[in-house]
Amino acid sequence: MSKVISYSTLARQQQLNFLRHKVREYRERDDYLLRLRKLLFQVEAQMRQAEIQQLEVFQEIAAHFKIPLPLPDLGDRLGMQEFFAANPFLQALQDYFYGRLSAEDCLQRIGALKTNEPSPTAE
């Protein structure tokens, strides 16, 4: 003869199985999120490094043309955006880099900026 299982025992087993299934599901998602966060931090670090290298290009060009370029704090993203939007030297370079200006036009704009700004010290 078969053994009869009570409803309460059956319901309890079903709830335990449900909880075990959900803990596996949760752990899988948590592990997935952990891997994604690690990847995101790696990508952010590479992006930050590339951004700094881009800033070094601007600083190198500014030094070449002897144009002062006091960049805001690197952690101030909003300040950096405002600085790039407001600085005519950087606007000229960005227009050149994005193909909106020729090298000749860019050089003319930089030259115009140098003649319009007062010299800090006479050499």
Question: Domain of 66?
Answer: 7-116
Residue 123 lies in a domain: no
Q: How many domains does the chain have?
A: 1
Enter the pTM of the model.
Answer: 0.67
The reported pLDDT for the residue numbered 29 is 97
Residue 2 lies in a domain: no
- Sequence-distant (6+) residues with CB within 8 A of 64 are none
Quick: pLDDT tens for 59-88.
999 999 999 999 888 778 898 899 999 999
Residue 42 lies in a domain: yes
Q: 29: burial class by Cβ within 10 Å (0-12, 13-18, 19+)?
A: exposed
Residue 36 lies in a domain: yes
- The C-alpha atoms of residue 62 and residue 72 are separated, in whole angstroms, by 15
The whole-chain average pLDDT of the chain stands at 90
